[in-house]
Amino acid sequence: MDRIWATWRMAYISDKKHKYEGCIFCDFPKAEKDQEYKILYRGKLAYIIMNAYPYSNGHLMVIPYRHTNDFTSLSNEEAKEIMALGQLAIKALKKAYNPDGFNVGWNLGEVAGAGIAQHIHMHVVPRWNGDTNFMPVIGDVRVIPEDLAVGYNKIKKAIEEIEQNE
């Protein structure tokens, strides 16, 4: 029998996220626990954070600070900064992981697949040739081979290097 070591799963299994009162996308930046909550970068109107339940290593989200579930309510300044942070996220992921491509997008509303529908967020998911195998297709399982803390340090370092060179 093959075994899959996914040591982070215990935290996921015991997580009380379904009982959380409030909005994590509003509360996490206020807590000023960037490393613990995996906030990688803070802009003026939005921030970059790692997805705690990623589709692949390096799965990031760009989130406006302002609480809204309405994409059309974003101001021009918010939309511009979110796109700029999306570009920064892609640059950092290229530097840290060298993926072959990206999925970038929004799940607007619960029926569209938004896990947290009350606060919009843009996903930036690195992809590699051959990263879809039998596990998600047949086994309905995603294998994430790198611990989130290791990924956080890689991506944070890449962002800092990009910022120094711009």
Question: Would you please indicate which residues are annotated as catalytic (active-site) residues?
Answer: 121
Q: Contact, 46 vs 85, CB < 8 A?
A: yes
Task: Report in angstroms the alpha-carbon separations of 159 from 64, 111, 153.
Answer: 19, 33, 10
Beta strands in the chain (DSSP E): 39-42, 46-50, 60-64, 101-106, 122-127
- Rounded to whole angstroms, the Cα distance separating 91 from 101 reads 12
Residue type, 141: V
- Give the residue carrying structure tokens 């918010």: 78
- Which residue, 33, 62, 31, 61, is CA-closest to 45? 62
Q: What is the DSSP letter of 129?
A: T
Token pair for residue 133?
A: 């195998």
